[in-house]
Amino acid sequence: MKKLKLELNEDDKNRLIQMAWQDRTTFDAIKREFGLSENQVKNVMRTLISKPAYNRWRKRVHNRKTKHEKKVEYKPIRFQGPW
């Protein structure tokens, strides 16, 4: 298996975490922003946040329709953070 080499600055890491935690931000939007597949996001999140936080996050996004663009009724345009 190829090891993912991802060089993110601190702001990008924080943005990735925020996007991954957002219910209405799809994995497709994260892929457009960072070029990461759903599995790659899961692997990166495992390294960026603590184990208990990762477990909470995985439980939260597992089988969640809003994290997949093809399953949602609305069509998200782009990620809109709190700024």
Is 66 in a helix, a strand, or coil? helix
Rounded mean pLDDT for each run of 10 residues along the chain, 83 residues in total: 64 92 86 90 93 93 70 57 54
Give the pLDDT score at 61.
84
Domain assignments of the chain as residue spans, ordered by start: 13-71
Residue-wise burial string across 61-81, b where 16 or more C-beta atoms lie within 10 A, e elsewhere: beeeebbeeeeeeeeeeebee
What kind and span of H or E run contains 42? helix 38-48
